[in-house]
Amino acid sequence: MILVLGGTTEGRVAAKVLDESGAAYWYSTRGELQDIQLAHGIRLTGGMEVHEMEAFCHEHDIRLLVDAAHPFAEALHRNVVKLASSMGIPVIRYDRIYPPHDHDLVWCRDYEDAMQQLGKHGITRLLALTGVNTITKLKPYWQGHECWFRILHREESLEKVQKEGFPDDHLVYYEQDDTTNLIERLQPQAIITKESGTSGGFIEKIEATRAAGVKAFVVMRPDYPSLPGVTIEHVNGPYGLRRAVERLVPEFYPLHSGLTTGTCATAAAIAATRRLLTGETPPQVPVILPDGETIHVAVQFGENYAAVIKVSGDDPDVTNGIEIRASVEESDTFEIHGGEGVGRFTVPGFDYPPGEPAINKAPRQMMRDNIKENVSITISVPQGAAIARRTFNPRLGIEGGISIIGVSGIVKPFSEEAFIGSIRKCMQVAQASGSDRVVINSGGKSERFVKALYPDLPQQAFVEYGNYIGETLKIASELDIKNVTLGVMLGKAVKLAAGNLDTHSRHTTMDKAFISQMLHEAGIDIDLSDLTLARELWDRIPQEKLQDFATVVITHCTRHCTPLLPNGHLTLLLITDTGTIYSVSKANHKNSSSI
């Protein structure tokens, strides 16, 4: 069993990651205020001392602790590490992503140091965004200066305020004003906040203070405790969490995740750059993924290159076990080249023109985000040319080797049965959230665009269908979900429009003849003989005819989907790679929605 100490945004994400396994786990919070739906987790509320936690872990055979509590929950962190030490249980510390320590901010070690810094800077009018529990810690300051505290408007918080004697007329509430409005209304000389990370709204607070020209004082997060002999894995995102769980409790997930070729190439490039510039040859390197989190990837070194052995996990992949190399030279600019075994684009329609190495946009951006120096990187795959013949690359117009690809950086494997089971659980959670609508999407990218159309829906109302559109709609019907929005991008949409309710490339490919038929229905006449990817159509179709084409595609998709939701209402949205959203209801509008 796994015990999660949650109650934060990270706790929610941890629950979602663990729910993917289909196995039971415990999710503990001190209070009952966090609204969270668990597909397989067992909710546990109430604070526990170390001896109580130890008894609980013995009783329930806890083999792993996931500490996803707030970064300033110091007492809890100490208890977790003490518990891990006494019982020999490993800990995963699921922390937040923290922006760098910018020099225009005043960084404070603790609240004592903060009050000293406020005095040195002559701050007599302060807005405190540090929460109700810090009223006590900052009492020596607010007793002698004008100070406002922003708190949650709830009985527990108001009782703490009354106990400390803080004046009611200097309270402001999260529910009423954002930071920008508060600064404009109260005109403080400075704000004080905690280093709460990206999920704690830190960036938004600092941007508001900079825009208003006021000073920002930041109380730094405390170091996470450690004890000799205690295994503590630090992660700051969902992929790193899953990889750590797979390593520490291998049987928890029936299938294990892997790395994309893009992540492997990036890790090799980072390692080669480090050796070039510092002479270091570490056994692993940190890699920042596209979602901002950092994972660590094992690397090897050859005579003039660094390499990563690609591990695909339990996802069936012909590239599993291959070696991906990077060699790096000093340069006046940042350059990426393709070497032996990396294919080249031979037709238009990809991220880069014909002749360019088949290293997609996301991996190139990963390399740029991770490597700040100007260097010339050459990616090579010694087995690439032979392996490429067993892929779709020749059919797509990529010749001479494999592609370096990957949008998220991680390969999450699912058997068909397990994936559909996961969809069912997510749909049940969405229904339990009380939302009057469930929004189903192919993945994180389309979900991000569609979320802007439904800002008031809870996170649980958004469900990924992967390729299983038909199965997801059938589940919605079985659960009697009345309103479903289906977001789909063009690559899957042209398959769905032809009646393929499972859009995986193993089962169906793009049908150019049917696409030509839809173009004819929309009154569009263009040559498709060299069409490689469906998304190229957004650039080939005249701007004034895009809505007509979208309407035809949506109409065909709807014809196949609506019978699967006989007692509900389906809204179908067609999404471009840049976030433009088309719907039939917009057919009479001049412009579609651009998010």
Q: Is the dihedral of CA 242, 243, 247, 250 positive or negative?
A: positive
Domain 416-594 of CATH type 3.40.1050: yes
Q: CA angle 356-359-364, nearest 5°?
A: 110
What is the CATH superfamily name and number for domain 2-96+231-252? NAD(P)-binding Rossmann-like Domain (3.40.50.720)
**Can you read off the two tokens belonging to residue 22?**
């289909």
Cα separation of 353 and 128, whole Å? 53
- What CATH number belongs to 106-219? 3.40.50.1380
pLDDT of residue 64: 96
pLDDT of residue 528: 87
Q: Is residue 350 helix, strand or coil?
A: coil
pLDDT of residue 296: 95
Q: What is the pLDDT of residues 80-113, one digit of tens each?
A: 999 999 999 999 999 999 999 999 999 999 999 9
Report the length, in residues, of the chain. Answer: 595
pLDDT of residue 416: 65
How do the domains of the chain map onto residue ranges? 2-96+231-252, 106-219, 258-411, 416-594
> 539: Cβ–Cβ under 8 A, 6 or more apart, which residues?
none
pLDDT of residue 490: 92
pLDDT of residue 586: 47
pLDDT of residue 394: 77
pLDDT of residue 458: 86
Average pLDDT in the chain:
89
pLDDT of residue 349: 67
Cα separation of 85 and 166, whole Å? 40
Q: Are residues 449 and 595 in contact, defined by beta-carbon separation less than 8 angstroms?
A: yes
Cα separation of 318 and 506, whole Å? 14
Give alpha helix (H) positions in 165-233: 179-186, 202-212
pLDDT of residue 408: 84
The class (CATH top level) of 258-411 is alpha beta
pLDDT of residue 591: 34
Give one DSSP letter per residue of 289-319, joined into a string.
-TTS-EEEEE-EE-SS-EEEE---TTS--TT
pLDDT of residue 36: 82
pLDDT of residue 594: 36
**Can you read off the two tokens belonging to residue 395?**
């059919």
**Can you read off the two tokens belonging to residue 391?**
């892929």
Question: Mind listing the pLDDT tens digit of every residue in the chain (595 residues)?
Answer: 999 999 888 999 999 999 888 889 999 998 877 778 788 889 988 888 889 999 999 999 999 999 999 999 999 999 999 999 999 999 999 999 999 999 999 999 999 999 999 999 999 999 999 989 999 999 999 999 999 999 988 888 899 999 999 999 999 998 777 899 999 999 999 999 999 988 888 999 999 999 999 999 999 999 999 999 999 999 999 999 999 999 999 999 888 989 999 999 999 999 999 999 999 999 999 999 998 999 999 999 999 999 999 988 877 678 889 999 999 999 999 999 999 999 998 877 677 888 999 998 899 999 999 999 999 999 999 999 999 888 767 766 788 999 898 888 888 775 566 567 668 877 887 887 788 899 998 877 788 888 888 988 888 888 888 888 999 999 999 999 999 999 999 989 999 999 888 765 455 677 888 999 999 999 999 888 888 788 889 999 999 999 999 999 999 999 999 999 999 999 999 999 888 999 886 443 333 343 3
pLDDT of residue 589: 34
Give the distance from CA 525 to its chain's centroid. 40
> 112: Cβ–Cβ under 8 A, 6 or more apart, which residues?
none
Topology match between the domains 2-96+231-252 and 106-219: yes
Cα separation of 18 and 1, whole Å? 11
Residue 432: what residue type? A
Q: CA angle 295-297-299, nearest 5°?
A: 160
Note the pTM of the prediction, 2 decimals.
Answer: 0.71
Q: Is residue 23 helix, strand or coil?
A: coil
Question: Residue 302: which of 318, 321, 286, 324 has the closest Cα?
Answer: 324
Give alpha helix (H) positions in 522-591: 537-540, 546-561
